[in-house]
Amino acid sequence: MIVGTAKIYLHANWVHSLKEKRMVVKSLIDKVKHKFNVSIAEVEDLDVHQSIVIGIACVSNSTKHSNQCIQSVVEYIEQNTEAVVQNIEVEIL
Report how far residue 30's alpha carbon sits from residue 43's, in angstroms, rounded to the nearest whole number: 15
All structural domains of the chain: 2-92 (3.30.70.1120)
Instruction: List all residues 6 or more positions away from 39 whose beta carbon is below 8 Å from its beta carbon.
Output: 56, 57, 58
pLDDT band at 46 (very low <50, low <70, confident <90, very high): confident
**How far is the C-alpha of 11 from the C-alpha of 91, rounded, in Å?**
22
Residues 55, 14: Cα–Cα separation, whole Å: 22
In terms of Cα–Cα distance, which of 85, 63, 68 is closest to 10? 85
Average pLDDT over residues 72-78: 94
Rounded to 5, what percent of the chain is helix, strand, coil?
A: 40, 40, 25
| Arithmetic mean of pLDDT, 56-71 | 94
